[in-house]
Structure 1
Amino acid sequence: MSNKVPDDSGRSEYNTSYKVGQDNVKFLGLDVLNPVFSTSAIIIFAFIIGSILFPTDASAILSGAKNWAINNFDWFFMVSGNIFVLFCLALIVLPFGKIRLGGKEAKSDHSTMSWFSMLFAAGMGIGLMFWSVAEPVAYYTGWYGTPFNAIANTPEAKDLAMGATMFHWGLHPWAIYAVVGLSLAFFAYNKGLPLTIRSAFYPLFGEKVWGGIGHFIDVISVIATIFGLATSLGFGAQQATSGLNFLFDIPNTLTTQIIVICAVTAVAIISVARGLEGGVKLLSNINMIIAAVLALFIVIVGHTGEIFLAIGSFFLNYVENVIPLSNWIGREDETFYHGWTVFYWAWWISWSPFVGMFIARVSRGRTVREFVVAVLLVPTVVSIVWMAIFGGSALEQAEAGVGALANGISDSSLAMFQMFASMPLTSITSFVAIVLVLVFFVTSSDSGSLVIDGITAGGKTDAPMIQRVFWAVLEGIIAIALLIGGGSEALGAIQAAAITIGLPFTFLMLIMCISLWKGLKSDMHLYK
């Protein structure tokens, strides 16, 4: 299939003779773009082997690199995050919002609910399960610093805990995903370029994106994605086993963690083999139904009135603190600022190739305005409601001295289960939460496998099924190998590597904004 755009389209500056898969090689049933596939594989296995053989040294080196990036480029991460938010808000109100992904007559491939379910599950569904209780209580009790050095366990700390939690899960992370996702969707569906990261840079680099520059961009994207998924799977297994131990007294051992990873990987293989419609889409819809039921249950059995008041409190504290928390000048709350905010920004950016490309893949037929509203504003509203239900209930327990949370956070992986322990039907809610955590991990794994497969296949979306299965299996193997070889220390080392990769990708994302602006501007004459 040629990606050449018809001359009468008025978009001749994007004409390219490059064909999807033209440089691919086929071997052992695979169909891959060799420079990206082989380079990524070599780097990944080198990191993994080094982390397993020398976990302490690897952790020290990579953690040092991560700290160097965070401490020296904190301002850069913060400024860039603010730029991404302003850029996305501008796209909503500017005439660019009329442009439809895929052309004026394009129709969406998925219902609005299924579309939102998929982008939300891929974006941060599992993170909201993990941190919706632990994070606001951590800020309130000063577990690892408080925003603006507020005195822990005070009304001021509680208000800031609400505002800071939403700051980390609101507009900024979703703007990061929206920039990458919209760029990829626009250049793939409106300019006929391959659905891969390098295509977003075509307006600036031209045909060079099919060579070394493009290979470099795609390799960084693959490494960031596989490292992020593998570490999340490893840490997620530890959280799931903590919940199983808490609920059923199942030993929280390495063997249990490996069994959990194998189970998640097995389901992910089935899902990824079924493809987008029968796999990720189905599981994402199931995710949202279970999550809605769990949230509704908490509202009913909890202090319903106070939960509804908490929704308003989370919103107001977010609005009140979003600008002060976005400031990078003269910050004295260094523990909180570097340990939470800048860390989060680097982590979201390292995940943006994966989440952005997956969102792009399911967003054909949406207008730019629809896309940005759905990816930026709707998730922020949903996150406010979710955080108010779970985080608000947890803060209420901590403030009232009820249950384990009265003593603060001892183990972040247990925080949600400790909150459930002070509510009715603890066993049922805890079990549902464990199921939801595991299903969210499956959707992350199989959607990530689809993304990595597309990048390493040069933008092909119909590569052999065995490739998608290969990446799903590799994610599980990496997580298990790291747990066996070095445990949390090895997982932390690879996570540090992923966060460090967030620094160069931030530069790429700023370039992506310029490239997208040029691309959208070239299409405006079609909508007059």
Structure 2
Amino acid sequence: MEKAKITKVFYISMVLVLITVLLGAIWPAHFEEITGNINDFIAKEFGWYYVMISTFMVIFCVFLIFSPIGKLKLGKPSDKPEFNLISWFAMLFSAGMGIGLVFYGASEPLSHFLTPPTAESGTNQAFRDSLRSTFFHWGFHAWAIYGVVALGLAYFQFRKGEPGLISRTLRPIFGKHVEGVLGTIIDVLAVFATVVGVAVSLGMGAQQINGGLHYLFNVPNTFLVKVIIVIIVTVLFLMSAWSGLSKGIQYLSNLNIFFAALLLFGVLFVGPTILIMNMFSTSIGNLLQNFIYMSFDAAPLNETKREWMSSWTIYYWGWWMSWSPFVGIFIARVSKGRTIREFLLGVLLVPSILSFFWFSVFGTTAIEVVKKVPAIGKMTLETQLFGIFHEMPLGIGLSILALLLICTFFITSADSATFVLGMQSTHGSLNPPNTVKVIWGISQSLIALVLIYAGGLNALQSAAIIVAFPFSFVLLGMMYSLYKDANKERLHLGLTLKPDKRFRKKE
């Protein structure tokens, strides 16, 4: 019975995943070289495109918030949200950022402080710019990309009765062709982007867990240890995935928020508290003041800055796009019953502000510690956080808590991804078979290990940007399709910006 639900999207995607795994395992050096060359080409020739499309998605989301379209509900008039606000925020935040927050929380602001794109290294200007750049990378653009995918899926699935497939969000453009070969291609692309995007995150998690264990307990920092870590975590997240969305994933997401809050406030209170709060406020103002320029800047006349943008900004825009099918599908699944306006305000503002505070706490603390202990700035990315904690009060406790948080984020991200991949390869089923989820869970872990084996973070980053490029055209189609259909319905209901009693009755 379960097997009958599996579509050809599953088999085609699985073949692509196996080919990727074999290429990376048999020819790791060539795999890293090829992905690196493709990545360099895309970043150099199409960096402007990544900048423009990401910014356009922010504009699109803001437009919908203030548009009468924002009154439309993601579901039937009687539908109520399945999860309360706290659980909703916890699940979308855990799925959307996860391991990356812990991995880059201290290391990214520190990197921008030590090697800034324009300012002089180690200066107060570099300090200010480091947090502004980090806020920019992890803020409104990231969540607008997620929001576009999630909104399109939730709208067409819960309001129009379509299966929860990326391809079906394009029906207003392609009509019945989304049920044929074209739809299969789109869904395969979404599945493959999800697998690679999540594998990037899992690879980083495995490396940081190993880095932390090596720094704290002198556990060897080797590929074999990473394999063992991935195997253990894979078993744990498959157990959670087997238990279902409302049990395992919701409980783990709430546990993530608890651990994250404990670590966040622990660092806040033992770190330079007043400076952190001052930098948090100032950096938000700095971002808003420069937001429009930064959103469109492609650094055409500054070679140094353009190379920096390729390594950071363009990489992030690619990473968010490659993650967007996974995060978008998952957020859509847990957002039924909310209005478009409520949905977008929640998705854009709350996670962004939480991310800003997170990076203020960890980034400011890291920079202040490195000013006193410069050697930490030369440590690898996966061990820097533990080196910083070593110089702080309660350092061992903070390090152990960070390791626990990485593990729970690791499990939640992979857990959510197995659910999403199961949906996409079983015709949008809201309850995909456990056998399919297990197969996808193992596949994700294999790709993560292959990418680590093939070249660590370099191969991981290259893979994310490469997969994002073709999927970006699907994102453009989703925006047009959503606006076309939602505006048609808005006109049919006679919605305006003013409160409309007729609307409430009809809705």
TM-score, structure 1 length as denominator?
0.90
- Provide the rounded CA distance (Å) in 1 between the counterparts of 2:432 and 2:406: 29
1:269, 1:472 within 8 Å by CA — same for their partners in 2?
yes
- Provide the rounded CA distance (Å) in 1 between the counterparts of 2:314 and 2:486: 30
Match of 1:55 in 2: 28
Match of 2:372 in 1: 401
Letter in 1 for 2:279: A
Among 170, 181, 195, the alignment partner of 2:139 is 170
- Provide the rounded CA distance (Å) in 1 between the counterparts of 2:460 and 2:125: 36
Closer/same/farther in 2, CA of residues 164 and 88 from structure 1, 3 Å limit:
same
Closer/same/farther in 2, CA of residues 213 and 454 from structure 1, 3 Å limit:
same
In the alignment, is residue 31 of structure 1 matched against residue 22 of structure 2? no
Match of 2:470 in 1: 504
Identical positions, percent: 38
1:163, 1:319 within 8 Å by CA — same for their partners in 2?
no
Q: Secondary structure at the match of 1:73?
A: helix
- Provide the rounded CA distance (Å) in 1 between the counterparts of 2:367 and 2:451: 35
Letter in 1 for 2:18: F
In the alignment, is residue 340 of structure 1 matched against residue 312 of structure 2? yes
In the alignment, is residue 445 of structure 1 matched against residue 419 of structure 2? no
Q: CA RMSD in A?
A: 1.7
In the alignment, is residue 355 of structure 1 matched against residue 327 of structure 2? yes
- Provide the rounded CA distance (Å) in 1 between the counterparts of 2:130 and 2:454: 27
Q: CA deviation at 1:403?
A: 6.1
Match of 1:208 in 2: 177
Q: Deviations over 1:106-127 (max 9, x none)?
A: 1000011001100000001211
Match of 1:74 in 2: 47
Letter in 2 for 1:382: L
Alignment of 1:53-452 (within 5 A): 53-142=26-115, 146-147=116-117, 149-326=118-295, 327-328=297-298, 330-332=300-302, 333-398=305-370, 400-402=371-373, 404-405=375-376, 408-452=377-421
Q: CA deviation at 1:384?
A: 1.1
- Provide the rounded CA distance (Å) in 2 between the counterparts of 1:289 and 1:243: 20
**Unaligned 5+ runs, structure 2:** 496-502
Q: Deviations over 1:407-452 (max 9, x none)?
A: x243111121122111111111100000100110100101000111
- Provide the rounded CA distance (Å) in 2 between the counterparts of 1:273 and 1:293: 28
1:453, 1:468 within 8 Å by CA — same for their partners in 2?
yes
2:271, 2:392 within 8 Å by CA — same for their partners in 1?
yes
2:32, 2:454 within 8 Å by CA — same for their partners in 1?
no
**Unaligned 5+ runs, structure 1:** 1-25
Letter in 1 for 2:292: I
1:243, 1:417 within 8 Å by CA — same for their partners in 2?
yes
Match of 2:426 in 1: 457
- Provide the rounded CA distance (Å) in 1 between the counterparts of 2:459 and 2:386: 27
2:5, 2:427 within 8 Å by CA — same for their partners in 1?
no
Letter in 1 for 2:229: V
Match of 1:11 in 2: none
1:55, 1:493 within 8 Å by CA — same for their partners in 2?
no
1:109, 1:365 within 8 Å by CA — same for their partners in 2?
yes
- Provide the rounded CA distance (Å) in 2 between the counterparts of 1:490 and 1:172: 26
Closer/same/farther in 2, CA of residues 308 and 493 from structure 1, 3 Å limit:
closer
- Provide the rounded CA distance (Å) in 2 between the counterparts of 1:198 and 1:517: 16
Q: CA deviation at 1:508?
A: 1.4
- Provide the rounded CA distance (Å) in 2 between the counterparts of 1:89 and 1:96: 12
- Provide the rounded CA distance (Å) in 1 between the counterparts of 2:274 and 2:486: 46
Deviates more, 1:326-335 or 1:238-247: 326-335
- Provide the rounded CA distance (Å) in 2 between the counterparts of 1:366 and 1:409: 47
Q: Deviations over 1:301-333 (max 9, x none)?
A: 122212211211221222233223222263511
Q: Deviations over 1:271-295 (max 9, x none)?
A: 1000001111110000001111111
1:163, 1:322 within 8 Å by CA — same for their partners in 2?
no
Q: Secondary structure at the match of 2:74?
A: coil
TM-score, structure 2 length as denominator?
0.93
Q: CA deviation at 1:393?
A: 1.1
2:319, 2:465 within 8 Å by CA — same for their partners in 1?
yes
Letter in 1 for 2:182: I
- Provide the rounded CA distance (Å) in 1 between the counterparts of 2:457 and 2:308: 22
1:229, 1:448 within 8 Å by CA — same for their partners in 2?
yes
1:51, 1:494 within 8 Å by CA — same for their partners in 2?
no
Letter in 1 for 2:65: I
Q: CA deviation at 1:261?
A: 0.5
2:187, 2:424 within 8 Å by CA — same for their partners in 1?
yes
- Provide the rounded CA distance (Å) in 1 between the counterparts of 2:129 and 2:463: 30
Deviates more, 1:300-309 or 1:209-218: 300-309
2:21, 2:446 within 8 Å by CA — same for their partners in 1?
no
Letter in 2 for 1:137: L
- Provide the rounded CA distance (Å) in 1 between the counterparts of 2:461 and 2:312: 15
Q: Secondary structure at the match of 1:330?
A: coil
